[in-house]
Amino acid sequence: MQGAERLGSQKLGLYSNWIFVALTAVGWLGIAHFWMPARADLSLEETKVWFTQTHHPAVIVGLTLFYIAAGFLTPGSVAFGIMLAKIEGRWPVWSYTTAVCGVFISLIVFFNACAWMVSAYRKESEASVLQGFSDWAWFAFLLGWIYLAAEMFATAIVELMDQRPEPMVPRWFSWLTIAGGFTVFFAGGPAFFKSGPFAYHGLLAFYLPVAIWGGYICLTTWYMLKELKRTPGRAPISAAAAN
Domain residue limits, the chain: 11-229
Q: What is the DSSP letter of 38?
A: P
Whether residue 39 is predicted with pLDDT greater than 90 in this model: the reply is yes
Q: Quick one: average pLDDT of 126-133?
A: 96
Question: What confidence score (pLDDT) does residue 46 get?
Answer: 97
Distance, in Å, from the CA atom of 200 to the CA atom of 44, rounded to the nearest integer, reads: 16
Whether residue 242 is predicted with pLDDT greater than 50 in this model: the reply is no
Q: Which residues contact 205 (CB under 8 A, 6 or more apart)?
A: 142, 186, 187, 188, 189, 190, 193, 197, 198, 199
Alpha carbon 96 to chain centroid, angstroms: 16
Question: What confidence score (pLDDT) does residue 80 get?
Answer: 98
Question: What confidence score (pLDDT) does residue 206 get?
Answer: 98
Q: How confident is the model at residue 235 (pLDDT cuts 50, 70, 90)?
A: very low
Question: What confidence score (pLDDT) does residue 7 get?
Answer: 81
Distance, in Å, from the CA atom of 230 to the CA atom of 243, rounded to the nearest integer, reads: 23
Q: Which of 105, 101, 94, 100 lies closest to 71, judged by CA?
A: 105
Question: What confidence score (pLDDT) does residue 230 get?
Answer: 83
Q: Quick one: average pLDDT of 162-167?
A: 94
Q: How confident is the model at residue 2 (pLDDT cuts 50, 70, 90)?
A: very low
Q: Quick one: average pLDDT of 75-96?
A: 96
Range of lowest pLDDT (4-8, 11-15, 28-32): 4-8
